[in-house]
Structure 1
Amino acid sequence: MADPTNALFSAFAFIGFIITLIPLPWHLEAWNSGTCYFMIWTSLGCLNQFINSIIWRGNALNSAPVWCDISTRLTLGVSVAIPAASLCINRRLYQIAKIHAVVVTRADKRRAIFIDSILCFLIPVLVMALYYVVQGHRFDIFEDVGCYPVVYDTLLSYFLINMWPLIFGLVSAVYCSLSIYSFSKRRASFNEFMTSNKSITVSRYFRLMALAMTDLLCTVPFALYSIWLNASVGVQKWVSWSDTHFDFSRVDQFPSVLWHLDQRTVVSIELTRWLLPVCAILFFLYFGFASEARRHYRVFFYVIAKPFGIKPPTKKPSGSAAGYASFTPVSVSWTNHCL
């Protein structure tokens, strides 16, 4: 029998997939590459978990092996990419807080996007590729959860896979501390920069800071807990490539009643997958109700409503134009009022 809470998770995962992408267009316009990568990876992670929770609801059958090969690598990529995106956000906030010059050139923006792309795209893809080195067998399937990566727990796996979230989280903590210090020392320069900068407002800056700090409070403790959990089972000795990949095509399948017997497995799996919808919802709470978001919602609403004759209200004319408008025919004035 399927776990009834799985339907709740499916709903939150799908909602997270949608709402995280809503602020994407105006962050793309502002060249906020770190924030954009955060949205894209979080949304992909939610979509991945949503699909898994639907396909394997109430079963642990190996019904989509190719999808599982993709899904397990995406799971690992997301676990690295979101902390990397948080690092990029903290790095940008620090650069703004310590700014000496008001002008930021297009070359500076391109350079920032290039560095963010290395951290948020190239490294996660590299981790997904290196996963094969320490992949014990093809994948596991947990009922109600879906495909799950299998990392053979050797010392090498900590350097190739497990260390990245912790490293990104610790570096983010340094940038976050430096941002707070620089902001307190250069408040006048900061205000001048914000006045002249169109890509980020004071409100958006502090919302990004709140998001980065929230993610930071989750990333480091969770990364440490994950490393401790893996190490507590017992780190295996690396023997050889053939030993690690022995019976590689095996797929272990775990019914819900079986994997729920191990409390550590339950905590690890549920915490891993629920963190993604939580990240998505927190992001939307920070950015989905901001002034620029409401402005875009208004524009989108009138684009959708235009075929039904609903149009945005026109601003009341002033000055000489107002005087001219007062002599317009009654029928035109009534039409303008309805518009």
Structure 2
Amino acid sequence: MHASDPTFPLYPILSFLAIVVSFIPFPWHYRARNIGTCSYMLSTGLYSLVEFINSFIWADNVNNIAPVWCDISAQTIIGASVGITSSTLVISRQLYNISTMSGRSTTPQERRRETIINSIIAFGIPLLVMALHFIVQPRRFDIFEEIGCQPATFNTVAAYILYFMWPVLIGLCSCVYSVLTLRNFYNHRVEFAKVASTNSGMSPSRYIRLMLLVFVDMFCNTPIGVFAIIVASRAVVLPFSALSESVDFAKIDLVPASVWKADRLSRAAVEINHWVPVFCSFVFFVFFGFAEEAKKNYQKAYESLKRLFGCRGSRANANGNPKTK
């Protein structure tokens, strides 16, 4: 394989590492029923997996060699990209709710209601956007050399309302919650540690790490959403009625690297979206992969492996040659 990208295989290596670091903390977050962090890891992990596979298959070509995979990966990209921001909204809501408790414990009914709401935000919104995208999808998918399969979107006003606006809208909602959380944190900073640990089992350090994750995502993904709208709006925005004349699901646009790299802003938009899951995966791992809870789980995993291999060794010794004195 002779990739047109001179940095190849840097991206596949980093995206593979992003897959790994996305799912390392997943088991203990899942056991704790942390919907926001679990959906964040699923979104970044699946997004990185898709980009990892695509970057290998289409490193040096634009051949339509895996159409079914492209159907799947294009939809995954839509859902995962929205899933990252919707997960951040779940986390920001959780932090805000903790900051308003003032020592009051939550009831089982309240916890159940919050679980339902958070699940709808984390998983329902991405599924909704995937469904809405079909309305403004003019063809099956696009293939970009070096990048791989990408969703195709008809450049109409409806596309900005049904598809492009979601990361920005969700990011603004997260921003509102975060501002209110900071205000509550400042007003009740003396009793904060007691409130956080009493009502949620969350240490102050973990609370702060979640806040930092929310801010990093807000100040990265929300501007990226605005940038995508700006880049898309530079082209002629057609009326929605023109979609009926343009829809052709038998059509697939094949875009060589020389074409999508010709325009500086378009190239930036493509490459930024390409790197978003890798960046988000590593940011999450930096905040949570080295925390005290992570170290305890690493130790448990290590002890389990020791016992596993120790038991195997003992059985092999018992069934094999006896020990000599």
Task: State the TM-score, normalized to the length of structure 2.
Answer: 0.90
1:30/1:199 contact within 8 Å kept: no
Note closer, same or farther for the CA distance 1:265–1:241 as it changes in structure 2 (3 Å cut). closer
SS at match of 2:237: coil
- 1:303 shift after superposition: 1.2
Q: How does 1:1-339 map to 2 (within 5 A)?
A: 1-2=2-3, 3-197=5-199, 199-245=201-247, 247-309=248-310
SS at match of 1:248: strand
Question: Which string of whole-angstrom CA distances, capped at 9 and with x for unpartnered residues, describes residues 218-242 of structure 1?
Answer: 1221111111111112211222552
Please tell me the residue identity of whatever aligns with 2:273. T
2:155/2:238 contact within 8 Å kept: yes
Q: Distance in 2 between matches of 1:241 and 1:136?
A: 7
Q: Distance in 2 between matches of 1:129 and 1:221?
A: 24
- 1:148 shift after superposition: 1.0
Note closer, same or farther for the CA distance 1:110–1:260 as it changes in structure 2 (3 Å cut). same
2:138/2:249 contact within 8 Å kept: yes
Q: Distance in 2 between matches of 1:173 and 1:261?
A: 35
Structure 1, unaligned runs of 5 or more? 311-339
2:98/2:200 contact within 8 Å kept: no
Q: Distance in 1 between matches of 2:259 and 2:200?
A: 55
1:155/1:237 contact within 8 Å kept: yes
Identity of matched residues, %? 39
SS at match of 2:249: coil
Q: Distance in 1 between matches of 2:215 and 2:110?
A: 25
Q: Distance in 1 between matches of 2:219 and 2:8?
A: 26
SS at match of 1:187: coil
Question: Which string of whole-angstrom CA distances, capped at 9 and with x for unpartnered residues, describes residues 231-272 of structure 1?
Answer: 112211222552131x33111112223332222232111100
Please tell me the residue identity of whatever aligns with 2:267. V
Note closer, same or farther for the CA distance 1:25–1:109 as it changes in structure 2 (3 Å cut). farther
> RMSD of the alignment, in Å?
1.6
Please tell me the residue identity of whatever aligns with 1:27. H
Q: How many residues align structurally?
A: 309
Note closer, same or farther for the CA distance 1:175–1:130 as it changes in structure 2 (3 Å cut). same
The worse-fitting range, judged by mean Cα deviation, of 94-103 and 275-284 is 94-103
Please tell me the residue identity of whatever aligns with 2:260. W
Q: Distance in 2 between matches of 1:129 and 1:6?
A: 34
Note closer, same or farther for the CA distance 1:307–1:34 as it changes in structure 2 (3 Å cut). closer
1:17/1:42 contact within 8 Å kept: yes
The structure whose Rg is larger is 1
Q: Distance in 2 between matches of 1:106 and 1:43?
A: 31
Q: Distance in 1 between matches of 2:72 and 2:309?
A: 43
- 1:188 shift after superposition: 3.9
Q: Distance in 1 between matches of 2:39 and 2:157?
A: 30
1:99/1:190 contact within 8 Å kept: no
Please tell me the residue identity of whatever aligns with 2:180. L
Question: Which string of whole-angstrom CA distances, capped at 9 and with x for unpartnered residues, describes residues 311-332 of structure 1?
Answer: xxxxxxxxxxxxxxxxxxxxxx
Note closer, same or farther for the CA distance 1:169–1:198 as it changes in structure 2 (3 Å cut). closer
- 1:141 shift after superposition: 0.7
2:175/2:218 contact within 8 Å kept: yes
Q: Distance in 2 between matches of 1:178 and 1:13?
A: 35
Note closer, same or farther for the CA distance 1:69–1:104 as it changes in structure 2 (3 Å cut). same
SS at match of 1:61: coil
- 1:192 shift after superposition: 2.1
Task: State the TM-score, normalized to the length of structure 1.
Answer: 0.87
SS at match of 2:149: strand
Q: Distance in 2 between matches of 1:169 and 1:304?
A: 41
1:10/1:53 contact within 8 Å kept: yes
1:59/1:255 contact within 8 Å kept: yes
Q: Distance in 1 between matches of 2:218 and 2:102?
A: 27
Note closer, same or farther for the CA distance 1:241–1:180 as it changes in structure 2 (3 Å cut). same
Please tell me the residue identity of whatever aligns with 2:196. M
